[in-house]
Every structure is written in C-alpha cells, then in structure tokens.
Structure 1
Amino acid sequence: MLMKKCNHQVGGFALTTVAWLLCCISTGLPQWQVWHYEDPVVLKPTVALVGMWRACVFHTDSNSSNTRVCYQYNYDDSIPLYIRVNQHLLLVSSFLGLFGKITTIIALSNVHMGRVRKNGTCNPFRLSGILNIIASSFLYFPILFNYIAIMLKWRVAFPPSFNFPFQPDTQKMGSAMALAIISAVFFLLSGTICLSSNLAIGKMPRSKI
C-alpha cells in the first residue's frame, strides 16, 4: 500500500537530484554575466564571461580563432562584495541540496522497509522538504544579486592583471544564471512535494497485524 503511494516521493527525489546537479554546475560556470566591450589594447570587440569563481575573456589571434583565457579569483583579489557573498550562498545551497537528497534517500528507504511513523516529528520527508526549500531560498539570492548588478550596471574593479574594464559597453545574463534559476525552481518543487508527501503519509492508517 505504501509503495503504491511513493510515486510523488520518487518524483521529488528526481527533482532534488536534478536541482542539486544544476546548482553545482551553475556554481562552477563563468557564464553568469556576458560582457561585450572594446579591448583598449587591440581595439577589437571583446567578449568576457564573469562568473562567481572566475572570469574568462575571448582573445582573437592572428588566425581569427578565439582563445579563451580564464582568471581564477584568489582570496586576496579585490572583487565586488556581491560576488563574495554569492560564492558563500551558492556553496551553502549546494550543501543543503546534498543533505536534502540524502534525507530523501533515507525517507524512501524507510517507506520501502515499512518504517514509517504516523505523525513522526523526525520524519525524513519533512526534513528533506525543509532543506530543499531553504536551498532554493539561498539560491535565489545570488540570482537576484546578479540580476541587479546587470540591470544597474554595477562597476566591477577586477585586479589589474585581468585587463578587464570597470564597466562593459553592454552586458547580459548568461547560461549559468539560467541553470541556477531552473535549479532554484526544482528545489522549491521538490521541497513542496516532500512536505506534502509527509502529510499524506502521516494521515495513512496503520496496518493491523
């Protein structure tokens, strides 16, 4: 009887897994912001990618081929405060998503083994749902900060070795931000499913032996 009612929980686990993977991928990608500007050295249009952990720029060589050069942020680098804050928020969101995934596995294992407590205060489904919703909230803040930085065209003072301008001619959102948005939505959906599944299991009558 319980196993027939696990479809929603399995769906929540699948969403949690996809959300966590997308969160980790978006964290490492540099495509949070896409900059377009004219390089003052070579006087050519240049495309740069600004991420949470590194920034990359495309250089055109004599053969008209693009070469991507990336610069990793160091702890001592003077990068904007919102990027530093986003780094921590993304890491926290990734860890919360991982813990939510683990608790969902434990909850599904309990259902499979028949160890489901009615109205249990430590039901793993409830804990997993809460963790996923919190992970979604933590992930929304980097998305919001990055969106505001693009819309308001915040000036960015990268280290001189990067050879980046303070402000590009034009900038737009990148694919990493889109992945983060999808991840945040999936975390929220999976958390809602886990919480609703917990309530549904709590209302199920115990089998009489």
Structure 2
Amino acid sequence: MTYLAHSAHAQLGALWLGFVGWTLTAVSLGLIQWRVWLVSDRDVISSGLAWVGIWRTCFHSNTLVTPGFLNMHCRYLSLTEAFTPPEIVAGQVLMLLSLLVGLCGNAGGVYAMRNVYFGMEKNSPIRLAFYTAGTLCLLAAVMSLIPLVWNLSSVVTNQTIKFPPDFNMPQAPDSQQVGCGIGVGLVGTVLLFVSGIIFCQYRLPVRSQRPESSLPALPAPSHSARGRDNSAFVSDEHL
C-alpha cells in the first residue's frame, strides 16, 4: 500500500470548493430571484416587485394569494409553454444537468482522496480518478454558466416576457434588476471551475531511486586477509 497524503493538500481544498460550489448551484436553482421586475401599478402587485425565476414567478399581493405561500401569488413556468423564453428553458434543463454532473464530479473527488489518504494499491488509477473528477466539475460549471450568463444578458438588455393574462404579470416592467439567484449561481460556477482545474493538475510524486552503478563496490577479499595457514594442523593430517 502506498500513502500519498502529503501530495494532495491542494486537492483536498478543491474537494471542499467543489462541494460548496455544487451546493450554491443547487440553491440558485431553487431561488425565484433571478430577475427582479419593478412595476408602478400596485393594484395587483402590492409591493411593486415581481420575481421571475426559472421555475416560477411570484409577487406579493393583497388580492391574490396562492395556498401555501401566505400573501404571495406564484405561478409555475413550464418549458413546454410557448411564452417561456429560451433562456429560462435552458436554465431548467442545464441547471439540473449541472447538478447531476457536479454530484458525480464530487463523488469522483471523494474516491480519489480516499485512495490518497487510506493507501492505494499498485495499479490504482488515482491520477485518472482526479482527472475524471476535475473534468466533470468543469463540465458542470460550463452547464450552469450558460443559462446564468444568458439570463444576465436578458436583464441587462431589459428583455421582457409575454406572460398569459392568468399570470397577472405586466407585459413589460418599468425596469428590472439582476436578482440574487444569478449572483449565487455565478459564485457556485466559479468555485466549480477552480475545483476542476486543481483536480486536473494533480501529479503523482516522483520516487527517487538510486541506480545500481552509484552503489559503492565492495572490495574483493585479498589473499593476505585470509590469514596464515596453521602448519601444525597441516602436519597432523599426514600422520
């Protein structure tokens, strides 16, 4: 068994970064504050704020109440609806795939660290395990980055969504801002990127071996070192 705990301190930190990044990606997926719409008509939207996530849109209302949400009215967004913009459809699909791939990447990192800290067999593919974990983390980061940047661009360019009348959402907001959901997702994506790069940079330590030619040669025994013959013992043999 070979123990390499001293060679993977950076990868241990990368494992924690990958786990935190994956957790933030999951949190971002569930937040509704991807886009913050500011509206002046408060007849239905009492607070003047409406939140658009990738799964549902919500706002506080004194007239419309959704069961289970107190004084908040929410409607779920489906990727099969014609009004759902492509950036939200991409968010629903790619963010879920990012969670799955990121989970596999973190699991690969745990497996590789197990071999490092508890010893590995001679033919254990520890280098391949780290490289696979890093590749999966990088792939998860790319999958989450695409919808995050796409929705960020839609907010910056003030793109609107044509909601049906039953959503009680305005056709266009007075203005809109980037919500914390995108910010949390971007932080998680950066952590997954860093984690994947560190995993891929792992190298097995080089063992120092002394060549046989560098070993000091033992001196050949000389005849003088054997001592002198006992003449009395030799003469006794002929008696």
- Report the TM-score, using the length of structure 2 for normalisation: 0.76
Structure with the larger strand share: 1
Partner SS, residue 72 of structure 2 = strand
| Cα distance in 2, alignment partners of residues 11 and 42 from structure 1 | 49
Give 1:60-139 correspondences, 5 Å limit: 60=62, 67-77=71-81, 78-115=83-120, 120=125, 123-139=128-144
Q: Which amino acid aligns with 1:70?
A: C
User: Which residue does 2:231 correspond to in 1?
Assistant: none
User: Which residue does 1:13 correspond to in 2?
Assistant: 15
Partner SS, residue 30 of structure 1 = coil
**1:153–1:167 contact (8 Å) kept in structure 2:** no
**1:106–1:124 contact (8 Å) kept in structure 2:** yes
Bigger Rg over Cα:
2
| Cα distance in 2, alignment partners of residues 105 and 121 from structure 1 | 11
User: Which residue does 1:54 correspond to in 2?
Assistant: 56
Deviates more, 1:158-167 or 1:9-18: 158-167
Partner SS, residue 172 of structure 1 = strand
Q: C-alpha displacement at 1:120, in angstroms?
A: 4.8
User: Which residue does 1:147 correspond to in 2?
Assistant: 152
What are the ranges of 5 or more consecutive residues in structure 2 without an aligned counterpart? Answer: 64-69, 211-239
| Cα distance in 2, alignment partners of residues 174 and 11 from structure 1 | 29
Q: C-alpha displacement at 1:36, in angstroms?
A: 0.5
Q: Indicate how the Cα distance of structure 1 residues 9 and 119 shifts in structure 2: closer, same or farther if over 3 A, else same.
A: same
| Cα distance in 2, alignment partners of residues 175 and 87 from structure 1 | 17
User: Which residue does 1:181 correspond to in 2?
Assistant: 186
| Cα distance in 2, alignment partners of residues 161 and 148 from structure 1 | 27
Higher relative contact order, chain-length normalized (CA < 8 Å, sep 6+): 1
Q: C-alpha displacement at 1:42, in angstroms?
A: 4.9
Give 1:25-40 correspondences, 5 Å limit: 25-39=27-41
Q: Indicate how the Cα distance of structure 1 residues 32 and 43 shifts in structure 2: closer, same or farther if over 3 A, else same.
A: closer
Q: Which amino acid aligns with 1:103?
A: G
User: Which residue does 2:166 correspond to in 1?
Assistant: 161
| Cα distance in 2, alignment partners of residues 71 and 43 from structure 1 | 14
Q: C-alpha displacement at 1:31, in angstroms?
A: 0.6
Partner SS, residue 166 of structure 1 = coil
Superposed CA RMSD in Å reads 2.6
What are the ranges of 5 or more consecutive residues in structure 1 without an aligned counterpart? Answer: none
- Report the TM-score, using the length of structure 1 for normalisation: 0.86
Aligned length: 201
Q: C-alpha displacement at 1:40, in angstroms?
A: 6.6
Partner SS, residue 165 of structure 1 = coil
Q: C-alpha displacement at 1:122, in angstroms?
A: 6.8
| Cα distance in 2, alignment partners of residues 129 and 117 from structure 1 | 22
Between the two proteins, what is the percent identity of the paired residues?
A: 28
| Cα distance in 2, alignment partners of residues 39 and 117 from structure 1 | 70
Q: C-alpha displacement at 1:97, in angstroms?
A: 0.6
